[in-house]
Amino acid sequence: MSQAEEHFSTSAEPAISLRHVHRIYHLAGEDIHAVNDVTLDVWPRHMTAIIGRSGSGKTTLLNLIAGLDTPTEGTIHVLGRDLGQMSEREKLDLRLHKLGFIFQTFGLIPLLTARENVGVPLRMRGLDPAEREARVDEALAWVGLSDRAHHRPYELSGGEQQRVAIARALAGEPALVLADEPTGQLDTRTGRRILDLLRRLVEERGVTLLIVTHDPQVMAEADIVHEMGDGHLVDSRVKTQVPA
């Protein structure tokens, strides 16, 4: 049993649970084991990081957890649902209603304002306009961008764009946020500010946060760190004191 498993063995059910997950790609007659027999749990209301060199399999693993890719073998449960037993429509609904996403490249629509970008997922859900606008306002205020609501991405700094992306994830009131290198395009100081916002998501909003990262700041801040290498899970470590 890993250190993380020992620490949480009497805690709540994991938000994400992977058991003997493989993802094999067949390229030019060769089998590429992008993810190789990974078993791990991601615990609710904590910040968990998956680290590893480029090509280690961490982004593939994140795509599998999001239901954007399908494992060759193994099982993945997300928020109590077995992804292998879900239709594509059900997985889409899970992403739309329960998951939030934050990307290294921010993922904003260039022609839309910050306010409109935050509201896009809520429009896709068919949310009542009044509730949608209230959520957008609250989310932008929470990340400190109320005064930039009507600016388009090209009028915002990189840090501001990432704060819009966090607001977009927050507005959907997700139980789980998946972040792919959220500080990867930011300088150290701006990355620290974004990391502080992500920590607040966990502590103030009770969100489960899973981050794929190279950033030493994120590794130091995370409650649990899983390291991957050549598709394998090679190490897991948990802080001595982890927030409840």
Instruction: Please report the pLDDT score of residue 184 as a whole number.
Output: 86
Check whether 112 has a pLDDT greater than 80: yes
Check whether 2 has a pLDDT greater than 70: no
Q: What is the number of alpha carbons within 13 Å of residue 96 lying toward its C-beta? A: 14
Tell me the whole-structure pTM to 2 decimals. Answer: 0.89
> In a 10 Å sphere around its CB, with 0-12 CB exposed, 13-18 middle and 19+ buried, how is residue 235 labelled?
middle
What rounded mean pLDDT belongs to the chain? 90
SS3 at position 178: strand
pLDDT tier, 235 (very low <50, low <70, confident <90, very high otherwise): very high
Dist CA 69 CA 212 (whole Å)? 16
Mean pLDDT on 159-179: 93
> How, if at all, do strands 176-180 and 16-27 pair?
unpaired
Mean pLDDT on 16-44: 93
Check whether 87 has a pLDDT greater than 60: yes
Angle at 100 between CA 95 and CA 101, to 5 degrees: 100
Instruction: Please report the pLDDT score of residue 27 as a whole number.
Output: 85
Paired with 225 in beta bridges are: 49, 237
Say if residues 16 and 210 touch (Cβ distance below 8 Å). yes
Which of 91, 66, 155 is CA-nearest to residue 117?
155
Q: Which residues contact 129 (CB under 8 A, 6 or more apart)?
A: none
Homologous superfamily (CATH) of 45-68+85-238 is: P-loop containing nucleotide triphosphate hydrolases (3.40.50.300)
Dist CA 199 CA 52 (whole Å)? 21
Angle at 180 between CA 161 and CA 80, to 5 degrees: 120
pLDDT tier, 8 (very low <50, low <70, confident <90, very high otherwise): low
Which of 227, 201, 199, 224 is CA-nearest to residue 214?
227
SS3 at position 42: strand
Q: How many CB atoms lie within 10 A of CB 88?
A: 9
Check whether 47 has a pLDDT greater than 80: yes
Extended beta strands in the chain, E state? 16-27, 30-42, 47-51, 73-78, 81-82, 99-103, 176-180, 208-213, 224-229, 232-238
Dist CA 33 CA 35 (whole Å)? 5
Mean pLDDT on 43-51: 95
Parse the chain into domains and list their residue ranges.
45-68+85-238
Amino acid at 58: K
Higher pLDDT, 106 or 18: 18
Check whether 133 has a pLDDT greater than 50: yes
Check whether 65 has a pLDDT greater than 50: yes
Check whether 244 has a pLDDT greater than 50: no
Say if residues 146 and 137 touch (Cβ distance below 8 Å). yes
pLDDT over 90 percentage in the chain: 74
